[in-house]
Structure 1
Amino acid sequence: MIFQATEWLMLASIIAMPLYSLWEADRVKNAVLSGTKTRVRAYQEAMLFMWLPTLLLLALVAYGEVSATTLGLKWQGHLANWLGIGFVGAIAIYFLYSATSLSKNAELCDQYRQAAQSHDWMLPTNKRELQWFTAGLSISAGVCEELLFRGFLIGVMSHEVGVSASLVVSSLLFGICHLYQGWTNVLRTGVIGLVLGVIFILTESLWVVITLHALVDVYGGFVGYILNQTSKDIVNTSIDSKLTKSRP
């Protein structure tokens, strides 16, 4: 591999992310669950964690050390680009329909709640947390993680190690970075990273996967908020019922 010194620096910064996640994941979870750290604070720290290496990469782009075209930031306007945008639009419509259906279906809420047990501690429970999760954390994840894991690790590294190797490495590191969601979700997120990588390769546009990634995370935030709100409604209904029965 004949990387430039700046590319080695960028690679080291990205590799440091999953290593940090391995060390820090349980601490953040325990802090939130114990009440010593708010969810909003955890969101803010995660955003800082993602933006630091991303700003380094953007600085390298600004100084001409890394090509914006290689990262997939140049919109080429060919068929693959537009098909990618069409796919993102279809996903957005599906997410909107799914979230609307979820808010009206208690049985579906139970299914989603069971699936989210490993990471429900980080999902928003009120409107302020929802705002930070969607407009802050989700957008940051879409921009930062795609620039780092797809744009750099695939767009740049593939010229030296090949597309297949860079795709596998980027997906593996991407999955480990989400250890805070539990080991089961490390595998799931790794697969998602693999899919996003393939979409990036096929569309040749980082904008497509940035938008898709952000949509997935925003949807996850709204789903978490809906689940937490329905849980509160169930608890309140149960309390009201008990109070009613206890009255003479």
Structure 2
Amino acid sequence: MRFLAVLPFLLLAMLVLPLLTWQSLRRLKLHADHDEAMPSTRTLALQSMGLQVVMFSTAWLAAWGNGINITWSGGWTAMVALLALGVLATGLVFASLEARRPLTSSDRLRQHLRQVGAKDPYWVVAVAMAAIAEEYCYRGVLTTLLSSAIGTLGAVLASAVLFGAAHLGQGWHSGLFSAMFGLCLQALCYAQGGILAAIIVHFAYDMIVIAAGRRRWECDHIAHS
């Protein structure tokens, strides 16, 4: 029962998502090579929502089948609040440096996502779902499952690497940053004793990056019009 409950989630986190990311990179390269139109941002948002539902469902099944209870709120202290702000600020610094990197033909998805508006209800929901599902799956269930097999440190590192691999669709820079950001979020989870602070930071980071990307796209659009 335990093996059957955990297998879909482990296959998704360790095999399916990295393969989907690799396939996404191939498709983006074909789009760039043939100058084909990208899917609409709304379509991308709906695809993201569907994937988050599958991720959360399989993670919940794995947790239920193995008697894992993920703490959500944990304890809120001044240290947790300061650490949360520090993790958010660190993420935004790296995001700012990445935003200054010139876009190339292989950065079609990154360029396309800059058109997303921070007030687009589809993307607000998609970002909220991603923050909840990814923190629950990676920082919660996956780390807990792996820690019993490879120890806490190994589980944290493996979870961060898989989290980064799942974000390679936006380029290797994004994958590397996501892995490092995952480590910071994991530290925040341990400090709080729950995943809620990490969810809030994750959501705030994504929304700020989307708003900044949209503003940059509008400035570039005006400059070239």
**Which protein has the larger Cα radius of gyration, Structure 1 or Structure 2?**
1
- What residue number does 1:12 align with? 11
Judge conservation of contact 2:167–2:175 (CA < 8 Å) in 1: yes
Cα distance in 1, alignment partners of residues 27 and 209 from structure 2: 22
User: 1:205 aligns to what SS in structure 2?
Assistant: coil
Mark the CA change 1:29 to 1:121 in structure 2 (over 3 Å): closer, same or farther: farther
Mark the CA change 1:48 to 1:126 in structure 2 (over 3 Å): closer, same or farther: closer
TM normalised by structure 1 equals 0.72
Displacement after TM superposition at 1:121 (Å): 2.3
User: Does structure 1 residue 35 correspond to structure 2 residue 37?
Assistant: yes
- What residue number does 1:121 align with? 111
Question: Pairwise mapping of residues 174-189 of structure 1 onto structure 2 (< 5 A)?
Answer: 174-189=163-178
Mark the CA change 1:155 to 1:122 in structure 2 (over 3 Å): closer, same or farther: farther
Cα distance in 2, alignment partners of residues 197 and 222 from structure 1: 25
User: 1:114 aligns to what SS in structure 2?
Assistant: coil
Displacement after TM superposition at 1:137 (Å): 2.6
Q: Deviations over 1:164-184 (max 9, x none)?
A: 111111111111111111112
Displacement after TM superposition at 1:10 (Å): 2.0
Cα distance in 2, alignment partners of residues 24 and 177 from structure 1: 11
Judge conservation of contact 1:39–1:129 (CA < 8 Å) in 2: no
Q: Deviations over 1:6-25 (max 9, x none)?
A: 12332122222122211223
Cα distance in 2, alignment partners of residues 30 and 43 from structure 1: 21
What percent identity do the matched residue pairs reach? Answer: 16
Gaps of 5+ in 1: 99-107, 237-248
- What residue number does 1:83 align with? 79
Q: What is the identity, as a one-letter code, of the residue corresponding to 2:75?
A: G
Paired residues, number: 215
Judge conservation of contact 1:54–1:144 (CA < 8 Å) in 2: yes
Cα distance in 1, alignment partners of residues 87 and 182 from structure 2: 16
Query: Once structures 1 and 2 are overlaid, which stretch shifts more, 110-119 or 138-147?
Result: 110-119
- What residue number does 2:152 align with? 163
- What residue number does 1:72 align with? 71
Cα distance in 2, alignment partners of residues 154 and 168 from structure 1: 9
- What residue number does 2:189 align with? 200
Judge conservation of contact 2:84–2:188 (CA < 8 Å) in 1: no
Question: Pairwise mapping of residues 206-245 of structure 1 onto structure 2 (< 5 A)?
Answer: 206-236=195-225
Gaps of 5+ in 2: none
Measured on the aligned residues, the alpha-carbon RMSD in Å equals 3.2
Mark the CA change 1:127 to 1:178 in structure 2 (over 3 Å): closer, same or farther: closer
Displacement after TM superposition at 1:91 (Å): 6.8
Displacement after TM superposition at 1:233 (Å): 2.3
- What residue number does 1:151 align with? 140
Cα distance in 1, alignment partners of residues 166 and 101 from structure 2: 23
Cα distance in 2, alignment partners of residues 111 and 4 from structure 1: 40
Displacement after TM superposition at 1:159 (Å): 2.7
Displacement after TM superposition at 1:235 (Å): 2.6
Judge conservation of contact 2:74–2:196 (CA < 8 Å) in 1: no
Q: What is the identity, as a one-letter code, of the residue corresponding to 2:138?
A: F
Judge conservation of contact 2:118–2:214 (CA < 8 Å) in 1: no
TM normalised by structure 2 equals 0.78
User: Does structure 1 residue 51 correspond to structure 2 residue 53?
Assistant: yes
